[in-house]
Structure 1
Amino acid sequence: MQKVLFKIVCSIAIIAVVVVLFIQPISQNQGYHNFADKVNLFCVTNFWNVISNLPFVIIGFMGLWKTSKSFQGYALKNNFLFFFVGIFFTGFGSAWYHYNPNDATLVWDRLPMTISFMSFLSIIIGEFVDSDFGKKALPWFLSIGILSVVYWIIFHDLRFYLLIQFLPILLIIVILLLSKNNPASKKYFWLILLAYVLAKVLESFDIQIYKKTNELLSGHTLKHFAAAIASLVFYSFISKKNQILIKNAR
């Protein structure tokens, strides 16, 4: 079954890449930088969109500390580390971008997020399909993710960045539905996906939510909190994973 699943995942990925090649180049919509909440507090421009990135720094640091002290000899340790490296630097990159929203600062938001996206995909493959492949795929996935951002910078074309942002979601759903491995762990990853979808919905209704809350919090600010919850759920997963590995080693 796992070999069949592996073939299905590879087939979906190949089809998606081919489809993207036939799509017209997608430029960055400059309206993307126009967020609803522009409140300035304590000399910080777009204060709430900036400060709401703090949870990423905290959770990223927690994850790096936990992973570095644990998982000795575990195949996916580096995958975990890179996921939290991405989360940690997303806090800084996203804060910098929201302080001064433009294409140039957006690069520093997207690069660390891409590291987390691709690390997460390799973790899903490692946990539910093949741990050895998940480990070996990490540098390749990271390279592809970073190159998608570089391609956008050079050619002003978002096709491949959008591919590596949304294709992993489809692949993860397929893997979680079809894999027979680690059934007890699946709940964490479904929750992570749910939080991610919630974050995208909140982002899409940025202005509407800002008006509904009487200009207290915008959808984009809440998006950051939802995405941080996804990271926190993953931290809970590795904590539980570490407990199981320690118990099994006794």
Structure 2
Amino acid sequence: MDKKIAFLLLILVSVTGLFFLLVEPVAQPKKYLQFADQRMLLGIKNFWNVVSNLPLILLGICGVVMAWKRQLLHDNFSVTPVYLTLFTAVIFTGIGSIWFHLNPTNQTLFWDRLPMAVVFMSLLTALLAEYMGRPLQKILFYPLLLAGAGSVIYWHTTETLGRGDLRPYLLVQFLPILCMVMLMAISRSQFTRSRDILVILFCYGLAKLTEYLDQQIFAATTLISGHTLKHLLAAGAILILLKMLWLREEIVNR
């Protein structure tokens, strides 16, 4: 096994083990479903949190079309349609989020988080293969998809049983970020524009921050909530990813 791959796996396994060892089960906070901006417009409940998902859906559709037409530069095997899966999941993330915000419950939240986990795992697979070797796609893609979906199913099942545990889903969200940063530190992409990944991570981090400051941002602006901004920043991250895949070039002499 390549030493870089072994090192990366060791770090990820260690972080995962320590997380489960040191962190108690994390239940879904009750206040999570109490969004700051609950205004109704045009007969639509939570209007701005609903419609702010439309850019995400449109970008997902663009990504699917461009991936299908082979307009995006990547190195995927035909049996591992990583980016086609990713952008399809982006579409369903937007649809699931609309469904959730029309009726915010843990049951509808499941359909928001499930495709989101697929997005995380697809991007992780793509970048691992891009930085560490193409064969990793065949080894990791479907197991990582199952792990991502499994984390959401586990959360939903434990929540239904009255002992909710978000820990696996939290790992699915944040381990890929650690992994991407480490990949860029220890290896090089075979394509240009790799710095765009840092911008994507910045947008995602900002989205999580605005989600956390939902109430405060709405109180300060009275126009837009932190959660609505989260949706727009997530769409911005997908736009940057799409632009990166469309404009980058292969590095001939790595």
Q: TM-score, normalised by structure 2?
A: 0.90
Could you tell me how far 1:158 is from its partner in structure 2?
Answer: 0.9
> Contact 1:76/1:126 (CA < 8 Å) preserved in 2?
no
Q: 1:222 is matched with which residue? A: 229
Amino acid at match of 2:76: A
Task: Give secondary structure in 1 for the equivalent of 2:193.
Answer: helix
Distance change in 2, residues 1:51/1:72 (3 Å): closer
Q: 2:185 is matched with which residue? A: 177
> Contact 1:53/1:94 (CA < 8 Å) preserved in 2?
yes
Distance change in 2, residues 1:73/1:55 (3 Å): closer
Matched, 1:104 2:107: yes
Amino acid at match of 1:187: R
Q: 1:4 is matched with which residue? A: 3
Matched, 1:37 2:45: no
Could you tell me how far 1:73 is from its partner in structure 2?
Answer: 9.6
Could you tell me how far 1:31 is from its partner in structure 2?
Answer: 0.7
Q: 2:49 is matched with which residue? A: 49
Q: 2:154 is matched with which residue? A: 151
Q: Of 92, 99, 121, which residue of structure 2 is paired with 1:89?
A: 92
Amino acid at match of 2:59: I
Cα shift readout 1:30-77 (whole Å, capped 9, x = no counterpart)? 111111101000111000000000011100000000001116994256
> Contact 2:125/2:141 (CA < 8 Å) preserved in 1?
yes
Q: Which runs of 4+ in 1 moved over 6 A?
A: none
Distance 2:38 2:25 in 1: 31
Could you tell me how far 1:168 is from its partner in structure 2?
Answer: 0.9
Could you tell me how far 1:17 is from its partner in structure 2?
Answer: 2.4
Q: 1:27 is matched with which residue? A: 27
Distance change in 2, residues 1:228/1:76 (3 Å): farther
> For structure 1, which segment, 2-11 or 93-102, has the greater mean C-alpha deviation from structure 2 after superposition?
2-11
CA RMSD of aligned residues (A): 2.1
Choose between structure 1 and 2: higher helix proportion.
1
Structure 1, unpaired ranges of 5+: none
Q: 1:17 is matched with which residue? A: 16
Could you tell me how far 1:135 is from its partner in structure 2?
Answer: 4.1
| Identity level (%) | 36
Task: Give secondary structure in 1 for the equivalent of 2:210.
Answer: helix
Distance 1:181 1:168 in 2: 16
Distance 1:166 1:33 in 2: 21
Cα shift readout 1:165-210 (whole Å, capped 9, x = no counterpart)? 1111111111112213336331111111111111111111111111
Distance 1:147 1:186 in 2: 30
Task: Give secondary structure in 2 for the equivalent of 1:25.
Answer: coil
Count the aligned residue pairs.
Answer: 243
Task: Give secondary structure in 1 for the equivalent of 2:189.
Answer: coil
> For structure 1, which segment, 68-77 or 169-178, has the greater mean C-alpha deviation from structure 2 after superposition?
68-77
> Contact 1:75/1:135 (CA < 8 Å) preserved in 2?
no
Q: TM-score, normalised by structure 1?
A: 0.91
Distance 1:219 1:235 in 2: 24
Q: 2:68 is matched with which residue? A: 68
Amino acid at match of 1:169: I
Task: Give secondary structure in 2 for the equivalent of 1:185.
Answer: coil
Amino acid at match of 2:128: I
Structure 2, unpaired ranges of 5+: 159-163
Matched, 1:134 2:137: yes
